């Protein structure tokens, strides 16, 4: 049985894709567990179907727990349920950005804590509907020492979804590669309130992207010893912005829906890391503050 903590877009996608009967949502403390969660599922291809996922009953333990909360909710969400989980149950974190994963791994180093990086895309255009908007790949790797022995088991269980799952021993490096893309696209789309492709012609982007990529290159080299020139990072960011030109980024969507963004775990994480490492990060700092101002109104 796979437990899913965080019944939002990504959690519901796993709920819909994993075999029926093998998956249950993990309730928050105090939440009732005798009902199920019902929603319509629009797959990437094919007809819509109805999905019914039970909540894990009190006393039952999953063999694997997926954590699909937003980065800012993750430490608290895991803390709320972890005492119900035997110490050897793998906990797989799906958050974007960085910072929330390390916080969980540092708090429970004796547990098998894993992280995933996924390019699957899911959203909920209306309350009872989950849309699998884009197919991609999911990489799974260990964060704590204990997790090294759980990767194969977690990958095998997730493969039952039919999605493309890969082992990734260097998961931190993989998360950094995604962080670079999110840091170079998401805040601009939120501040400019535009789809991904439109940032490329905006003055704010053109005036700051060179310096941002210099910051990103220095930080990545210092943090995970990946050497990539600012120009090469810029090319990758712009390639993704072009490939997803019509998309609304997750950060812009959060601002539009007046929900908390993940800025503190993207550019905010990078600015904080810069302070710790003695690397100047004025553009990451500026982007962080501007997005924070947007979501505080
Ligand atoms: P979401 O807001 O749709 O879902 C998060 C869910 O967690 C919500 O239903 C919320 O109620 C629930 N939650 C919050 N606190 C909780 C708690 N204490 N206990 C249990 N549940 C709690 O967000 P999402 O789009 O599913 O994204 C989740 C994470 O996955 C984010 O970090 C996001 O960046 C990442 N991600 C999402 C996608 C995607 O396509 N949606 C793709 C890649 C990565
Ligand atoms: O991952 C994304 C996000 O929106 O968070 C990008 C790559 C920017 C695609 O929209």
Q: Tell me: do 105 and 201 sit in the same domain.
A: no
258 is catalytic: no
Whether residues 145 and 259 share a domain: the answer is no
Alpha carbons 137 and 118: distance in angstroms, whole number: 6
> Please, which pLDDT band fits residue 30 given cuts at 50, 70 and 90?
confident
- CATH code at position 66: 3.40.50.720
My answer on whether 132 and 221 are in the same domain is no
The answer, yes or no, to whether ipTM is higher than 0.90 is: yes
Q: How far is CA 45 from the centre of its chain?
A: 23
Q: What is the DSSP annotation of 82-127? A: GGGS-TTS-EEE--SSSSHHHHHHHH-TTS-EEEEEE--EEEEEET
Task: Tell me, using a 6 A CB cutoff, whether residue 208 lines ligand 1.
Answer: no
Confidence of residue 58 (pLDDT cuts 50, 70, 90): confident
Domain of 67?
A: 2-169
Q: Give the end of a domain, one of 111, 144, 169.
A: 169
| Residues 74, 135 within the same domain | yes
Please report the atom of ligand 2 found closest to the CA of residue 241: 8
The CA distance from 88 to 226, in Å, is 32
CA of 155 to the centre of ligand 2 (A): 24
- Alpha-carbon 40 to chain mean position: 23
Same domain? For 27 and 121 the reply is: yes
Tell me the CA distances in angstroms from 122 to 59, 118, 273, one per residue in order: 31, 11, 30
263 CA distance to ligand 2 middle (Å): 13
Number of domains observed in the structure of the chain: 2
pLDDT tens digits, 99-114? 999 999 999 999 999 9
Shared domain for 247 and 281, answered yes or no, is yes
pLDDT score for 207 = 98
Task: Out of 169, 204, 225, pick the residue that ends a domain.
Answer: 169
CATH code (residue 244) = 1.10.1040.10
- Say yes or no: 67 and 41 in one domain: yes
Residues 137 and 197 in one domain: no
A 10 A CB-CB count for 154 gives: 26
What does the alpha-carbon distance between residue 269 and residue 96 come to, in Å, rounded to a whole number?
12
DSSP per position, 173-189:
HHHHHHHHHHHHHHHHH
Q: Is 143 in the pocket of ligand 2 (CB under 6 A)?
A: no
Read off the pLDDT band of 295 (50, 70, 90).
confident
Q: What is the pTM of this model?
A: 0.97
Q: Which residues touch 226 (CB under 8 Å, ≥6 apart)?
A: 173, 176, 177, 220
> What pLDDT, in 10s, does the model give residues 174-203?
999 999 999 999 999 999 999 999 999 999
């Amino acid at each position: 049985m796979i437990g899913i903590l965080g019944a939002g877009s990504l959690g519901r996608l796993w709920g819909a894709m994993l075999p029926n009967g093998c998956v249950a949502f993990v309730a928050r403390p105090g939440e009732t567990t005798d009902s199920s969660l019902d929603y319509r599922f629009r797959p990437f291809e094919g007809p819509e179907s109805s999905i019914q996922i039970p909540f894990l009953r009190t006393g039952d333990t999953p063999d694997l727990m997926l954590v699909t909360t937003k980065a800012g909710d993750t430490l608290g969400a895991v803390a709320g349920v972890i005492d119900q989980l035997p110490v050897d149950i793998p906990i797989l974190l799906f958050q974007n950005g960085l910072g929330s994963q390390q916080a969980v791994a540092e708090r429970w180093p004796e547990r098998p804590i894993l992280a995933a990086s996924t390019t699957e895309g899911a959203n909920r255009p209306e309350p009872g509907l989950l849309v699998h908007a884009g197919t991609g790949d999911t990489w799974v790797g260990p964060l704590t020492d204990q997790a090294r022995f759980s990767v194969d088991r977690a990958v095998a269980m997730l493969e039952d979804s039919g999605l493309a799952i890969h082992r990734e021993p260097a998961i931190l490096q993989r998360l950094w590669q995604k962080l670079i893309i999110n840091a170079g696209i998401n805040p601009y789309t939120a501040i400019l309130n535009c789809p991904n492709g439109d940032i490329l012609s905006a003055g704010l982007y053109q005036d700051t992207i060179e310096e941002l990529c210099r910051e990103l290159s220095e930080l990545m080299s210092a943090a995970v010893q990946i050497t990539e020139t600012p120009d090469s990072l810029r090319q990758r960011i712009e390639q993704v912005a072009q490939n997803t030109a019509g998309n609304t980024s997750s950060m812009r969507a959060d601002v539009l829906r007046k929900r908390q963004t993940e800025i503190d775990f993207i550019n905010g994480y990078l600015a904080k890391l810069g302070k710790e490492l003695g690397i100047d990060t004025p553009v990451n700092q500026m982007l962080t503050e501007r997005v924070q101002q947007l979501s505080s109104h």
